[in-house]
Amino acid sequence: MAPVFSPDIIARVKDESDIVEIVRQHVTLKQAGAVYKGLCPFHKEKTPSFIVTPGRQRWHCFGCGNGGDVISFLMEAEGITFPEAVELLARPLDIDLSSWLKEDESEGERRAFHRANEVAAGIWCDAFWDERTGSAARNYMADRGFGEKVLRDHDVGWAPGGSGWLAEQLKKAGVDEELAIQADLLRSSDHGGSFAYFRNRIIFPIKNISRQVAGFGGRIIDQGEPKYLNSADSSYFSKGKLLYGFDSSRMSISREKSALLVEGYLDLLALAQAGWSNVVATCGTAFTEDQARLIRRGAPNVVLLFDGDKAGLKAAVRSADVALRNGLEPKIVALSDGLDPADIVIEQGPDVMRELLRGAQGYIPFLRSLADARGGDRQVKERALRQVLGTIAGIEDQLRREYVLQEAAEEFDVGLDVLRESLRMEKKPVPRWARNPNEGPTARVPGASEPPSPEEPSGPEEEDLQERRPVRPGGPMVKRRIGAPNPALIEQQLFAHVLKDDTGQAARAFAAERAGLELRTEGARQLASELEAWAASNESRSGVSPLKFVEDRWNSVGDRDYRGFVSRLLEKEEIPDQTDFVQVMRDCLATLQRGRSAAPQTGRSSDPG
């Protein structure tokens, strides 16, 4: 749950933060009298129109109209939420947020967990650069082509052998054994005492969006299995919810509107060393919905760059499926068999990698090309198309689903009406590897639903065919009608467009035309009250947008569920500025009103996750 900060702590964070220094981490500024000028990071321009006024602790762009305080800048620049921005600013100021958190008993435990991990990361990093202790690790990385800068930039470490070495170092640093065991740095021995979980491994710290060390990945440098180890999931670390490198790449991802996704830690380091700054890596699991949403906060596009073997190809197709279902536009890069991204960029050079990236294909064209590689006969293309339909069935946004369906019709040269009917008849359960991050390309679970590859037909496995067995002539069993309106999702669409409209016309129209409509979710009801309060306030007449009004009252109105609801609205994929926000709002409102009149109210529901 998101922490709740008092107005006092928010004011203190704003007052003590140096807005010029914060902005300078993202923008080259030049002083011009009492202000600083630079090129706006939020739109392309050749003449500086971005102004920072330290005396007022404010920033403003006269080109795109954006502006605000140090917290709003960090939210916009790094794609993070309000609480995350406050925490990120407070840490270097030595402001203890735990005393300001309201009834969050787990905060002290969380801080202790991250402190233990950060101490361990420092110990391992020192060991890596120690002349004697880390020589084997440094030689291994040098032989693989990695230079000192990229290793230091990413805090790469070394965990020496010996089960008691880490415990001794942690004790010297003030981390007790019980805490180290809770953080999975040490593990309890059956014979009493404890032993280090990571031994004789190169260490890759995995940081959360607040740049705190949440867990670790470890790679062995000698012969042995498993090649990679990762910290166990806990209350404060989940491999399926974090991306390695995201803490340092999110600004580039937001600026370039695209993320480059790889499977391995070394792949990320190799690409970063070659100049790619928008790279992230999965943490030893299949690509998950949570990770897709994390990328989507800053960018609408993702390029999948996985290993060139059969397993890597399957993982790329699976990941593209998850990405497309969750609002991203995925592209897949096909590598030669037996090569991984690190091999290519280090041994063959960045130019070869750039050429490969230019040849990336969208999910649907990629599946069609795999079918063609199999000879392109009718059965192969049919299986590939059925897999595409399974993915499309999982897209919640109706407008986006229609456009993707049109793309499939054009790519496979099949009538759109035929595909619409097939989609209505299609039952495509979410694959196990999309629901469970512990299954997928790393786990390689036998019998799991497999995507196509050039060596095998592109389409569902036999298991999928059994799950979709026909129950009557004309098609498989129907799970649900694809086009059935979902009131909770329509409410989300309505409010996402209302908050996007800076003119406030959509909010005013909603307040005037709601006509007592009872909304389904608690978050929607609270937000509706806020918009009506905005419409009746003087602030609406003085140019304050509905979104600014909602954000300013973030910590004084509603509960955590309400803040979570609004955060999810703001994390939705980009809505074009030229959208007719009032018309979209009215369409959604009319649909909700028809739904209420057509069916009796059966009770209120909670906000959809």
> Would you say residue 349 lies in a domain?
yes
Q: What is the CATH number of the domain that holds 205?
A: 3.90.980.10
CB atoms within 10 A of CB 60: 18
Q: Give CA angle at 307 (301, 309), nearest 5°.
A: 130
Confidence class for position 167, pLDDT limits 50, 70, 90: very high
336 within 8 A of 363, measured Cβ to Cβ: no
Q: Are 390 and 280 in a shared domain?
A: yes
**CB contact set of 22 (below 8 Å; sequence gap of 6+):** 70, 73, 74, 89
The one-letter code for the residue type at 89 is: L
Pair 122, 133 in one domain: yes
Q: How many CA atoms lie within 13 A of 426 on its CB side?
A: 24
Residue 446 has pLDDT above 50, yes or no: no
Is 367 in contact with 317 (CB distance < 8 Å)? yes
**Mean pLDDT (whole number) for 251-267:** 91
Please give the residue that has the higher pLDDT: either 439 or 11. Answer: 11
Provide the 3-class DSSP secondary structure of residue 399.
Answer: helix
559 and 592 co-located in one domain: yes
- Res. 447: pLDDT tops 60: no
Q: Do 182 and 304 belong to one domain?
A: no
Position 599 pLDDT exceeds 60: no
Last residue in a domain, options 423, 455, 484:
484
With a cut of 70, say whether residue 452 has pLDDT above it: no
Q: Is the pTM value of this prediction over 0.85?
A: no
Residue 248: per-residue pLDDT:
87
> Residue 137 belongs to what domain range?
107-230
Q: Determine contact, residues 260/278, Cβ cutoff 8 Å.
A: yes
What pLDDT score does 3 carry? 60
The verdict on residue 563 lying in a domain is yes
The angle subtended at Cα 149 by Cα 148 and Cα 153, nearest 5°, is: 120
Summary mean pLDDT of the chain: 83
> Following DSSP, what letter does each residue of 314-334 receive, concatenated?
HHHHHHHHHHHHTT-EEEEPP
If asked whether residues 291 and 432 sit together in one domain, one would say yes
pLDDT at 217: 95
Domain boundary among 100, 116, 143: 100
| Spatial separation of the C-alpha atoms in residues 309 and 76, rounded to whole Å | 39
Distance in angstroms (rounded) separating the CA atoms of residues 412 and 368: 7
Report percent pLDDT > 90 for the chain.
45
**Has residue 244 been placed in a domain?**
no
**pLDDT (0 to 100) of residue 445:** 34
Specify whether 520 is located in the same domain as 506. yes
Counting other chains too, the contacts that 551-560 makes at CB distance below 8 Å and 24 or more residues apart are 551/72, 551/82, 554/82, 555/4, 555/5, 555/6, 555/7, 555/10, 556/7, 557/526, 557/530, 558/523, 558/526, 558/530, 560/1, 560/2, 560/4
Between β-strands 279-281 and 258-262, what pairing exists: parallel, antiparallel or unpaired? Answer: parallel
Are 342 and 354 within 8 A, CB to CB?
no
Lowest mean pLDDT among 168-182, 305-319, 476-490, 509-523: 476-490
- Residue 351, pLDDT > 90, answer yes
Residue 476's pLDDT band (cuts 50, 70, 90): very low
Over 70: is that where the pLDDT of 252 sits? yes
Q: How confident is the model at residue 4 (pLDDT cuts 50, 70, 90)?
A: low
Closest CA to 280 of 331, 242, 333: 242
CA angle (261 as vertex; 126, 236 as ends), nearest 5: 55
Tokens 């019709």: give the residue: 409
Name the nearest CA neighbour of 317 among 174, 227, 451, 207.
451
The residue ranking higher by pLDDT, 565 or 464, is 565
Number of domains in the chain: 4
Per-residue pLDDT reduced to its tens digit, 513-559: 988 888 888 888 889 999 998 888 877 777 788 988 887 777 677 67
| Confidence (pLDDT) at 240 | 92
Q: Evaluate if residue 236 carries a pLDDT over 90.
A: no
Which of the residue ranges 47-56, 133-142, 315-324 would you say has the lowest mean pLDDT? 47-56
Residue 603 — pLDDT band, cuts 50, 70, 90? very low
Whether residue 237 is contained in a domain is answered as no
Q: What does the pLDDT look like over 38-90, one tens digit per residue?
A: 999 888 888 899 999 988 889 999 988 889 999 999 888 877 788 888 888 88
Please give the pLDDT value at position 448: 35
Are 206 and 346 members of one domain? no
**Closest among 280, 299, 289 to 341, alpha carbons compared:** 280
Q: Is residue 607 part of a domain?
A: no
With respect to residue 394, please indicate whether it lies within any of the assigned structural domains.
yes
Q: What is the CATH number of the domain that holds 19?
A: 3.90.580.10
- Whether residue 266 sits in one domain with residue 398: yes
Tell me the residue ranges of DSSP E strands in 208-322. Answer: 213-220, 228-230, 258-262, 279-281, 301-304
Pair (467, 503) in one structural domain: no
Query: Which pLDDT belongs to residue 280?
Result: 97
pLDDT of residue 363: 96
- Residue 183 confidence (pLDDT): 92
Same domain, 456 and 339: yes
Query: Could you tell me if 172 and 29 lie in one domain?
Result: no
| CB contact at 8 A, 211 and 82 | no
Closest of 34, 33, 70, 67 to residue 49, by C-alpha? 67
Q: Which of 72, 100, 128 represents a domain boundary (last residue)?
A: 100
- pLDDT at position 555: 67
User: Residue 345 above 80 pLDDT?
Assistant: yes
pLDDT > 80? residue 108: no
With CA atoms as reference, report the closest residue to 576 among 496, 510, 509, 508: 496
Helix ranges (H only) for 334-377 are: 341-343, 350-358, 363-373
Indicate if 357 and 319 belong to the same structural domain: yes
404 or 489, higher pLDDT = 404
The 10 Å Cβ neighbour count of residue 47 is: 7
Count of helices and strands (H, E) across the chain: 27, 18
Structural domain contains residue 245:
no
User: Which positions ≥6 away from 314 have C-beta within 8 Å?
Assistant: 441, 450, 451, 453
Residue 235 domain-assigned? no
501 or 131, which is more confident: 131
